[in-house]
């Protein structure tokens, strides 16, 4: 019994340290890689506690390995938004300018009932009041009501173009380049560039850029 308690305490401390280093986020905010890592780590942690004959190191080393992979993957995704979107997927509109995109709902296996529930959860009683609804990368649905103004869509993130947004706005790469040059900036200096449906543009430059 004493051995099991000691093992449990050691695993508990290890998990506390690792989860602290991975950052505090709710389960609903985890992306695919975060969720997989969390599930694997929890399963591995239970092995030496369930079976005292299994060496503690058999769980500790895989846990540290998964943690290392998660840190490396997070670093790579932060440095390359394009790769990050390839791994985690893109946020996508399921309601755009008040129109429910039924094909997108089908592609993401979201029922009408689930959509209505998500809208109500965000305090909107009538789906007709929704101007935009987005399925975020972590699976949550964000809602913007018509009365709250127009949404600003990301057309560029850390120097990389968000092609889906350009397509929704009916614009292309040439238009984007012209808008950037008209403001005296370079693509590689842009941290975030957004545009509304009325093409009101906001640019945030990377730190140190002019």
CATH number at residue 172: 3.30.240.20
What residue numbers bound the domain in which 28 lies?
A: 2-86
What is the predicted pLDDT for the residue at 81? 67
Question: Is the predicted pLDDT of residue 210 greater than 70, yes or no?
Answer: no
What is the predicted pLDDT for the residue at 26? 46
What is the predicted pLDDT for the residue at 150? 63
Residues 108, 135 contacting (CB under 8 angstroms): yes
Task: Tell me the pLDDT of the chain averaged across its residues.
Answer: 80
Computed on alpha carbons and rounded to an integer, the radius of gyration of the chain in Å comes to: 22
What is the predicted pLDDT for the residue at 22? 67
Domain count, the chain: 3
Picking from 69, 86, 103, the residue at the C-terminal end of a domain is 86
Picking from 57, 86, 115, the residue at the C-terminal end of a domain is 86
What is the predicted pLDDT for the residue at 15? 79
Residues 62-90 have a mean pLDDT of 76
Residues 65-75 have a mean pLDDT of 82
How far apart (Å, rounded) are the C-alpha atoms in residues 112 and 132?
15
How far apart (Å, rounded) are the C-alpha atoms in residues 112 and 64?
42
**Prediction pTM value:** 0.50
Does 158 share its domain with 132?
no
- Residue 210 in any domain: the answer is no
Does 100 share its domain with 138?
yes
């Amino acid at each position: 019994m004493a051995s099991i308690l000691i093992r449990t305490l050691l695993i508990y401390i290890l998990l506390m340290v690792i989860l602290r280093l991975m950052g505090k986020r709710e389960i609903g905010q985890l992306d695919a890689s975060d969720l997989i890592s969390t599930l694997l780590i929890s399963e591995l942690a239970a092995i030496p506690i369930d079976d005292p004959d299994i060496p503690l190191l058999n769980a500790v080393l895989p846990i540290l390995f998964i943690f290392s992979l998660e840190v490396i993957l997070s670093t790579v995704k932060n440095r390359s938004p394009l790769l990050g979107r390839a791994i985690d997927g893109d946020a996508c509109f399921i309601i755009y300018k008040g129109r429910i995109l039924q094909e997108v709902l089908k592609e993401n296996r979201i029922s009408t009932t689930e959509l209505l529930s998500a809208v109500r959860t965000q305090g909107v009683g009538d789906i007709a009041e929704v101007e935009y609804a987005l399925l975020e990368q972590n699976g949550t649905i964000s809602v913007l009501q018509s009365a709250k103004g127009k949404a600003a869509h990301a057309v560029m993130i850390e120097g990389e173009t968000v092609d889906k947004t350009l397509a929704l706005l009916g614009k292309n790469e040439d238009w984007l380049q012209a808008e950037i040059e008209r403001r005296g900036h370079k693509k590689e200096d842009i941290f975030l560039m957004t545009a509304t449906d009325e093409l009101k543009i906001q640019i945030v430059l990377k730190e140190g850029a002019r």
